[in-house]
Structure 1
């Protein structure tokens, strides 16, 4: 049994969820696929797949093997492309994670362009505001904002965006316009439950920190955004988060003459691994797209 071909077959079975679908994509008969997987399990002396009426899914050992096998197959495909001088065309599967709101507004709308450049590439886009374990989740590149929690992470800064206090004109008409940061103490603030309610501002050489309060705390950025747009209060956010509404006037900036620390966007790659060509290309694409 060809070990590499067996790994490639197993990866295709997991990706498609069935022997028959994998056989069609590999242009072989289903019995050949079943036999290859059986031989692979026999050689490894472990069960790799759970078989049920609902289809196939990897066992715990199968999932670990899948992640390593997938990367080996993809690296081999990329090596062939480079050797052939294929002009940078990418293939295989790219797994990307990003914060939900940022991805919905700025990444997903740009994916058609990226995929058009690489017609043999498939993508998994994982939307999650949490900092996830890239290796455990099999993620090739994660787009993260803010300070990196892991100083040892392999990361590339893609952009630096402004931050502002924003609110709807309707809310400000009811509650008034804050003139100085201290005025925020008397306003309703929509606060992300995982972030501090102490907002720090700078102007000239002065630095001011204000503890804000609101009746609503939200556990996800998408919820903060929705609450602000509903006129429930003001919030501090990246300009990326409210880009369409800032452009249309649906929300406006408050205390614009006071500055807030910028928010960096990073492409983070699994620690201890060489970033794949697909991950590097996607990071470069996002960096360029945000400059346009």
Structure 2
């Protein structure tokens, strides 16, 4: 039995909470993972896991072994990279998660440049407008926006985007253009219903402050739907600049109330709790931060 392979199987079982989830991440059958953990316990001569109808729980010995095994795996990965030399690039699989529209517009078009520098690396993009569990999904790094719900998550801010009020020229020609935040309540709105969105906003201009609640005619749970609803003339919206930046430059949408400011939205590179970020994850986060300058983001 390969010791490092057995360690990795055990670590995945602990982090995912089941043999089946660990097997999916390792791309092997569940019986193979169960057998590997059993052989590991036999070799060590201790029980590492308590199995019950409620799931798997590490024993005291199992918890200690997990923490040391995880560090050993990370050190082995770093040793491989160091031995190959910095000039040879990264290798293996990088699994990242992000929202659908953001990735389509700002990440996928830039991936060829990242992969050109690391041709031995493969990318898996897990796209969902809802936050996925980094441990359960085996995510190396997540690109998340807004306030982070998990305060224990390891994260660093890599960008910031302004929020603006957008609508199409055709919509404003038909419905009129609001000149104050209060006038927004007289317009139908397309509301983004996920984290970082909502119908109530506070506008500021110098010492003045106005809080308004938009009259939502359409409520959408994906940014792609917000964009299409606005382009269809269903109403105006409050959205991050990155969502409409290309369309704004082409005149397909127009910003209104430019003298009023809204809270900006932060972009974070988030890493699994309790795990040191891998060299692949750090390199990808650095790449995204550098590439997004001038695209509706900036620190």
TM-score between both structures, scaled by the size of structure 1:
0.78
Residue 209 of structure 2 aligns with which residue?
A: 207
Residue 188 of structure 2 aligns with which residue?
A: 188
Residue 242 of structure 1 aligns with which residue?
A: 244
Deviation at residue 191 of structure 1 after TM alignment: 0.7
Deviation at residue 109 of structure 1 after TM alignment: 0.7
Residue 76 of structure 2 aligns with which residue?
A: 76
Matches within 5 A, 1:130-145: 130-145=130-145
Residue 40 of structure 1 aligns with which residue?
A: 36
Residue 65 of structure 1 aligns with which residue?
A: none
Distance 1:282 1:88 in 2: 16
CA contact (8 A) 1:98 1:129 kept: yes
Q: How many residue pairs end up in the alignment?
A: 257
Q: Does 1:102 align with 2:98?
A: no
Residue 115 of structure 2 aligns with which residue?
A: 115
Residue 167 of structure 1 aligns with which residue?
A: 167
Unaligned runs of 5+ in 1: 20-35, 47-59, 62-67
Per-residue Cα deviation, 1:40-60 (whole angstroms, up to 9, x for no partner): 3762589xxxxxxxxxxxxx9
Per-residue Cα deviation, 1:122-163 (whole angstroms, up to 9, x for no partner): 111011111222111111111011112222221111011111
CA contact (8 A) 1:82 1:88 kept: no
Deviation at residue 197 of structure 1 after TM alignment: 1.1
SS at match of 2:171: helix
CA RMSD of aligned residues (A): 3.0
SS at match of 1:137: coil
Residue 254 of structure 2 aligns with which residue?
A: 252
Residue 265 of structure 1 aligns with which residue?
A: 267
Change over 3 Å in CA distance of 1:213–1:122 after alignment to 2: same
Residue 23 of structure 1 aligns with which residue?
A: none
Residue 219 of structure 1 aligns with which residue?
A: 221
Residue 179 of structure 2 aligns with which residue?
A: 179
Residue 47 of structure 2 aligns with which residue?
A: none
Distance 2:283 2:170 in 1: 43
Change over 3 Å in CA distance of 1:78–1:119 after alignment to 2: farther
Distance 2:86 2:178 in 1: 57
SS at match of 1:177: coil
SS at match of 1:240: helix
Distance 2:273 2:250 in 1: 41
Per-residue Cα deviation, 1:215-238 (whole angstroms, up to 9, x for no partner): 211111111111011111100011
Unaligned runs of 5+ in 2: 13-22, 43-54, 57-66, 295-299
Deviation at residue 250 of structure 1 after TM alignment: 0.3
Distance 1:141 1:128 in 2: 14
Distance 2:252 2:8 in 1: 51
Distance 2:27 2:132 in 1: 24
Give the ranges of 4+ consecutive aligned residues of structure 1 lying more than 4 Å apart after TM superposition.
5-11, 13-19, 36-39, 68-75
Residue 153 of structure 1 aligns with which residue?
A: 153
SS at match of 1:210: strand
Deviation at residue 268 of structure 1 after TM alignment: 0.7
Deviation at residue 83 of structure 1 after TM alignment: 3.1
Change over 3 Å in CA distance of 1:93–1:71 after alignment to 2: farther
